[in-house]
Structure 1
Amino acid sequence: MANKPGPETSDGPPGAPSQGQTRPLIGWGSYSESRRIGEILRKETVGGLMLVAAAAIAIIWANSPASDAYFSLRDFHVAIGPESWHLDLSLGHWASDGLLAIFFFLVGLELKKEIVAGDLRTPSKAMVPVMAAVGGVIIPAGIYALINMGSATALHGWAIPTATDIAFAVAVLAIIGSHLPSPLRIFLLTLAVVDDLIAILIIAVFYTDEINFVPLALFVVPVIIYAVLAQKFRHFLGTHAWAPWAILLPLGLVAWALLHASGIHATIAGVVLGFVVPVIISKEGQAKGAKHGLAEDLEHHLRPLSSGVAVPIFAFFSAGVAIGGAEGFASALTDPVTIGVVAGLVLGKPVGILLTTWCMAKFTKAQLDASIRWIDLFGVGLLAGIGFTVSLLVAELSFGIESEHNDHAKVAILSASVLAALLAAAILGVRNRHYKRIEEEASIDANADGIPDVYEEDSNKR
């Protein structure tokens, strides 16, 4: 079986745990968790491809003879409500502050699921991806800071290379046709969710210049009402399935508007609202025939909107940067901001993730599953180096949309994401035949109980 000790475990770093120890560092987890995450990754594939296409269109348009039309469209202002609401925003800001809140709502939902019903609910299983995510934030930020220590303005972008774009990463996996083993897929998605949480905290703490406490206090009111009603609708059945949407959606919009008025980036409202949605189905709901809760229902309806509309539109308005031809591109590459972002994402991310995971193996005396090598984790670390969506957002918050540093940071993010994707594809593509064999072995169900044997054996190890 794929999870028995074998030669695949022999090439870890010096000092890695011996083969005689059986507790998995990154194991197969539960079959239900593997299926859930596999389904999420399949849904994100199309969205990731659309994200790449939208960014490509924006770059081409922004550097074409019709570039003025692109920037005029991005900067066109649309006002909603009275002036005190501060909702006179450009289309680019509506995309980053408004549409991206849908993406962050799903991040909140996914984080809640991971904590309540996923791998994060078990400290021993959560520790590895959580610490790997932390390492994958600290090392890139440190590399960027070291390179940009001479400029206080440039140093403000230290958080740009700390993010991971799971949709873009999944699109790369789809393109190279990887049969990535379930332990690595679970590790990648869990790490990305924790990574997004850290990015959200960074945005809330370090990129909020001024707080208006009145709308911030009022923001709590619709959130509490939202949480109470979400509990009420957690098993909503029958012909009135529109009711949760008709009530929760307006409350969510009010909460978003109040947080925006407070000065805190409005996308944080999406995370907060997603986190208060119930995940577990109660016995009462099961008795009434409910097969899934409100969280799953909301995710089912909103994920296509997020990955197919909201995130690609954000990428379209955010990725467009006038490079200025070969000379402008060469100028951007010599900017320490560009160097710091590229080094942080392409080098810092995989090194931070791999080094932290290796330290966890050394000090917890756990070992990798026999189907996984350290080079696989390095490939996954490179996938995590595809920053894109959140990195673009942090760049705008760091420097402002009109700043030359912002333009150079965008060039760096795009270049680093492509470079990380190519390197990850090279490593994981070479390993793809091995992954395919692991996938075939992992599907064996000798006792015909509907659960592949590898998941039951991994459960017994824990």
Structure 2
Amino acid sequence: MTIPIPSLAARLRVLLSRETTGGVLVICAAGFGLVLANSPARDGFGHLAGSSLGSLTVDQWAQDGLLALFFLTVGLDLIQEIRVGGLRDPRRAAVPILAACGGVAAPALVYCAVVAPVSGAQFVHGWAIPTATDIAFALTVLVLAGRGLPDGLQRGLRIFLLTLAVVDDLIGILVIAIFYSHAIALPALLAAAACVAVFGWLARRRRMAWWLMVPVAVLAWWFMYRSGVHATIAGVALGLVVPAVRRPDETVSRATRTSQLVQPFSNAVALPVFALFAAGVPVLGTGRSGGSGPFSHPVLWAVVAALVIGKPLGVLAVTAGLKRWSRLELPEGVTIRDLLPVALLCGIGFTVAMLIAGLSFDAQPPDGGDLVDQARIGVLAGSLISALLGGVMLHHDSRRG
């Protein structure tokens, strides 16, 4: 009996569906954007980002349009974790869930503690920038740097990190929906909700009619954008209404199948294009409007401190408290010491942090663009430091094991 060899297209789809592949592509795109923004090509790059493409600029399409595909995959991951995954049993998922809450509260407090004494309440609005952990980045570092760890420990750390990051994403989504939505247009919001309901109904029919589902999804995104709620929330809502429990006549659930279709495009196009423009910030010379140069603003240092110090501190403090004063348990074979590098990796907050940085300051005159640049430089620096510290500790633990 001959084993069929997967086609090139099938192998490429599998490769692009991997979270580690997405992480590598985003790192490369972010690095390229950073180089372009600090090279002789920076004016052309800035002109491209600000060019109109219909009713939005290219940069806005990357942030509000393409990124909605990433949030669709987040919604699909969430519904699968809630229905059949790690979040299905609250007792098993309680420690990483509560650790995620600590990993949101502590960075926000650290951020405010850095900016408030210097500027009062002027820049406190950016408290949510270090909210979420970037799953693709963090998992890429864990896989690459933790290759030598025992299989059981590596599996336990992966489960803990994935559960925590999924909850982080959920909190980040709620923060965007609640704190960064303006002038809600109720008719458009109701129309978006109706489109999401129709999408969920189509996803539950005997056969999934993609030729109908795609235009309905586009309509849901458009109405959500017009409603004043950030358009990426449409992606999450669409993902959450896809069935995650496999039918008897199906080999995989419809949420899994939808994720398999969307994930390669999200990893190969949506996230890299967003990273290209989001990371394209000037770190040489003065700000974009002639203000002070980089590494001179409290927002930058507040974001770095929140990611590098606040994030692991919140995760470890809550986890240690639960371990000591409750009956909740960590994954089998995992200790508090084992979680230290994972807690550091939680400070990698690229995608959602970059998005919230733009939402926090872009509309604040007179130098909102410079504030966005400062915040995004802080995200880049804090995420890089967290990745290096976590990677070095994982490599050390791998050699020790």
**Shared fold (TM-score, shorter chain, > 0.5):** yes
Give the direction of change, closer, same or farther, for the CA distance of 1:161–1:358 in structure 2 (3 Å limit). Answer: same
Partner of 2:353: 391
Secondary structure of 2:56 counterpart: strand
Unaligned runs of 5+ in 1: 1-38, 80-87, 237-242, 436-462
1:160 partner amino acid? I
Give the direction of change, closer, same or farther, for the CA distance of 1:151–1:244 in structure 2 (3 Å limit). Answer: farther
1:342 partner amino acid? V
State which of 201, 205, 224 in structure 1 corresponds to 2:174: 201
Q: Is residue 2:105 matched to residue 1:138? A: yes
Does the 8 Å contact 2:37/2:45 carry over to 1?
yes
Secondary structure of 2:18 counterpart: helix
1:232-247 matches, cutoff 5 A: 232-233=205-206, 236=207, 244-247=209-212
Q: Is residue 2:273 matched to residue 1:313? A: yes
Give the direction of change, closer, same or farther, for the CA distance of 1:363–1:40 in structure 2 (3 Å limit). Answer: farther
Once the two structures are TM-superposed, the CA of residue 326 in structure 1 deviates from its matched residue by 9.7
2:64 partner amino acid? D
Q: Deviations over 1:398-441 (max 9, x none)?
A: 01185211111111111111100110011111011355xxxxxx
State which of 47, 60, 68 in structure 1 corresponds to 2:22: 47
Q: Is residue 2:91 matched to residue 1:127? A: no
1:18-37 matches, cutoff 5 A: none
- Aligned CA-pair RMSD: 2.2
> CA separation in 2, counterparts of 1:158 and 1:139?
10
2:284 partner amino acid? G
Give the direction of change, closer, same or farther, for the CA distance of 1:113–1:210 in structure 2 (3 Å limit). Answer: same
Partner of 2:251: 291
Give the direction of change, closer, same or farther, for the CA distance of 1:115–1:41 in structure 2 (3 Å limit). Answer: farther
Partner of 1:56: 31
Q: Is residue 2:310 matched to residue 1:335? A: no
**Number of aligned pairs?**
376
Partner of 2:49: 74
Partner of 2:11: none
Partner of 1:253: 218
> CA separation in 2, counterparts of 1:129 and 1:193?
10
State which of 149, 156, 161 in structure 2 corresponds to 1:188: 161
Partner of 2:132: 163
Does the 8 Å contact 1:41/1:170 carry over to 2?
no
Secondary structure of 1:416 counterpart: helix
1:109 partner amino acid? L
Q: Is residue 2:284 matched to residue 1:324? A: yes
Once the two structures are TM-superposed, the CA of residue 292 in structure 1 deviates from its matched residue by 1.0
**Larger Rg over CA atoms:** 1
> CA separation in 2, counterparts of 1:315 and 1:300?
22
Does the 8 Å contact 2:72/2:237 carry over to 1?
yes
Partner of 2:342: 380
Unaligned runs of 5+ in 2: 1-13
Once the two structures are TM-superposed, the CA of residue 353 in structure 1 deviates from its matched residue by 0.4
Once the two structures are TM-superposed, the CA of residue 176 in structure 1 deviates from its matched residue by 2.5
> CA separation in 2, counterparts of 1:338 and 1:129?
28
Q: Is residue 2:399 matched to residue 1:433? A: yes
Partner of 2:230: 265
Once the two structures are TM-superposed, the CA of residue 323 in structure 1 deviates from its matched residue by 1.4
Once the two structures are TM-superposed, the CA of residue 367 in structure 1 deviates from its matched residue by 4.8
Once the two structures are TM-superposed, the CA of residue 315 in structure 1 deviates from its matched residue by 0.3
Once the two structures are TM-superposed, the CA of residue 103 in structure 1 deviates from its matched residue by 0.6
Once the two structures are TM-superposed, the CA of residue 259 in structure 1 deviates from its matched residue by 0.4
Partner of 2:6: none
2:277 partner amino acid? F
> CA separation in 2, counterparts of 1:40 and 1:359?
40
State which of 99, 107, 116 in structure 1 corresponds to 2:66: 99
> CA separation in 2, counterparts of 1:190 and 1:40?
23
Q: Deviations over 1:329-374 (max 9, x none)?
A: 9943231101110010001111100111111112223454563332
1:358 partner amino acid? A
Once the two structures are TM-superposed, the CA of residue 142 in structure 1 deviates from its matched residue by 0.7
Does the 8 Å contact 2:283/2:293 carry over to 1?
no
Once the two structures are TM-superposed, the CA of residue 306 in structure 1 deviates from its matched residue by 0.9
Secondary structure of 1:431 counterpart: helix
2:176 partner amino acid? I
Give the direction of change, closer, same or farther, for the CA distance of 1:370–1:89 in structure 2 (3 Å limit). Answer: closer
Partner of 1:418: 384
> CA separation in 2, counterparts of 1:109 and 1:269?
12
2:189 partner amino acid? L
Does the 8 Å contact 1:345/1:386 carry over to 2?
yes
State which of 167, 173, 190 in structure 2 corresponds to 1:217: 190
Partner of 2:314: 352
Q: Deviations over 1:297-323 (max 9, x none)?
A: 111111111112110110001110111
> CA separation in 1, counterparts of 2:121 and 2:292?
23
Give the direction of change, closer, same or farther, for the CA distance of 1:373–1:41 in structure 2 (3 Å limit). Answer: farther
